[in-house]
Structure 1
């Protein structure tokens, strides 16, 4: 073989190696990558039908959806406990061609149910580390550290079957987090917990994950959990991802009325749209009309307005100047007190609107049965 031929061969080998490394780097940028994943059963098809879902290291992702949407099935599928069709990669490896036991040990699933062995709390948590081959001299410290973090170190020698529902849930969370997994799968982690400690536990999970750079997929019906925890959210309906967005976008700009109701959008008002030379004329129920100059994906059937988009148009309170403000007049049906805020239900014709305003913005002119004016900026309207 000539020197030139050998040189060409070497260059080709080098190029191939670089390409392989680049491809591997592209794959490894995701902790999880699912494509065309489907889960069926004998009685029901498309329990899960995921076209594309990927999670990067350190991402905190919430999964929203009604009962039966496939949220728990999604977590079980990712944890390789559910048969499926399609492609799934975990930590850059094709699940079907990899050692699934080793892959599973790099992740942790906290089930919705309290699943503990008939043993002491300490032994339940320690068993997780023993299965992963952690040296015996490290286990005690790690177990007590995680138990202390979640407020159950005093339960270490208690039998698991003697725990209350909330105590058992905290121990299950400790079992899930003690191994410092790269991917945490949490199915209703605040279920059974007292309302007073839910935010603390969710915040401790978030801090624990961020300190270790772990990615988390969190399923919760408690919307407060999601607000305090996630950066990104997916909305799951009938096994399909309908919207995958930043949490703030999903809340403020839901893809359809189903998601708007799911996230608790304050006002979903029937509307019609008429194009004009400047943009659109929006016609809401009760003869409310306003001009809108943004982009609208047609067709639309409803206008979404968050309660905090409203101002009270009152002589005693100055509305921040914004061009094109829309004013609506109605009668106060109810005022609900909150910490620092007031939620006002206002009857406008046949429609009841909900406004959430700072307590300091409410004057003596706002009371039950009073006629008041609400104002909002059309830019805060979202159409579905």
Structure 2
């Protein structure tokens, strides 16, 4: 009788992978213990667990060299890897990778177009996916019109400006209505004036079709206008995977706090007390924090919009335990509806954003400013 031990082992292994990677209907992407190395560098990417559900809009943040582009190429099966990647419920190591790629789309950071007309560049995406010929023309023109480049349809791709080429690449990436969009710096090369419009059109396109999107961008405004969820990537590892608002206001460490532009990161020491924890800031300010804290914290983070003017006309009601401080105004940056105040407290320069009506007459450079904030608005790292 023929032994089928090997087959049983293969089936058991496949079942184990399926348990690790989750339900085939729950995720469009599921990565488990994925590692990417190169001949010159190990651990370019080390993803323990990362999953994306249908329709999710996820942003990837990180400094240069963090592995963001490598992560997108790995998901698109353009980068050798170790570990397990499941796409659309199928193990990418055993499934037909060409078919899986056709269900997703990667828009590279670089402008990559064939030496052909704009129309043919976009149309080829549909031709590769076997879209009937009679549907192609309308879909191409719809994509080109959406991203403001229908007038370029019969121009040579080689004659386009950087911004025009980028919009054509975006149209090419989205024309197939893929289930998963991988966007690497989609606003790069675009004029500042149209970046928000293009990002909004991508978001609307994806939501109308129920597509999941993973977006990489150094432009934080792109991320704010686009994503519901964000991951922070450092040295190829996911340090924080959270709702975007939590990642901005509750960063996991000082690296992420700086990455998301936290206005005030102040060194501090903590001391347990009867009413909670006594927080001693580097600028000699002290206050009590009522919640639970880890003893390993080294800094407190305070968003600039947590401050309010400490005077009788303030619209913010008095709160027990409020922290009051007095500083000297170093600079006033006037804005629409909100002014940004840079002020000195001890040896540190801090930032507060205040409603314009409260600052226009009461605050001036080198003058004193009295501010307050609630201890519950402080985040510790």
Unaligned runs of 5+ in 2: 1-14
Residue matched to 1:190: 187
Whole-Å Cα distance in 2 between the matches of residues 134 and 356 of structure 1? 52
Tell me the distance in 2 between the aligned counterparts of 1:119 and 1:299. 59
Tell me the residue number matched to 2:285.
288
Name the structure 1 match of 2:38.
41
Cα distance per residue 1:59-113 (max 9 Å; x no partner): 0000000000000000000000000000110000000110000000000000000
Work out which of the residue numbers 299, 303, 313 in structure 2 matches 1:302: 299
Query: 2:253 is matched with which residue: 208, 231, 256?
Result: 256
1:233 aligns with 2:233: no
Q: Distance in 2 between matches of 1:154 and 1:297?
A: 59
8 Å Cα contact 1:146-1:174 kept in structure 2: yes
Contact kept in structure 1, 2:284 and 2:346, CA below 8 Å: no
Matched, 1:327 2:324: yes
SS at structure 2 position matched to 1:97: coil
Pairwise CA distance, 1:315: 4.1
CA contact (8 A) 1:272 1:284 kept: yes
1:217 equivalent to 2:214? Answer yes
State the 1:26 CA deviation: 1.8
- Asked if 2 retains the 8 angstrom alpha-carbon contact of 1:316 and 1:363, the reply is no
SS at the partner of 2:252?
A: coil
- Cα distance in 2 for residues equivalent to 1:192 and 1:363: 37
The answer to whether structure 1 residue 179 and structure 2 residue 176 are counterparts is yes
Aligned residue for 2:125? 128
1:104-154 Cα shifts (integer Å, max 9, x gaps): 000000000000000000000000000000000000000000000000000
1:318 CA drift (Å): 4.3
The RMSD of aligned alpha carbons is 1.5
Tell me the residue number matched to 2:310. 313
**How many Å separate the matches in 1 of 2:154 and 2:295?**
62
The separation in 1 between residues aligned to 2:274 and 2:323, in whole angstroms, is 20
Deviation of 1:216 (Å): 0.1
SS across alignment from 1:171: helix
Task: Determine the structure 2 residue equivalent to 1:10.
Answer: none
Partners of 1:230 and 1:319 in 2: how far apart?
30
Count, aligned residues: 365
Is contact 2:308–2:314 with CA below 8 Å preserved after alignment?
no
Q: Which runs of 5+ in 1 are unaligned?
A: 1-18
Task: Give the equivalent residue in structure 1 for 2:369.
Answer: 372
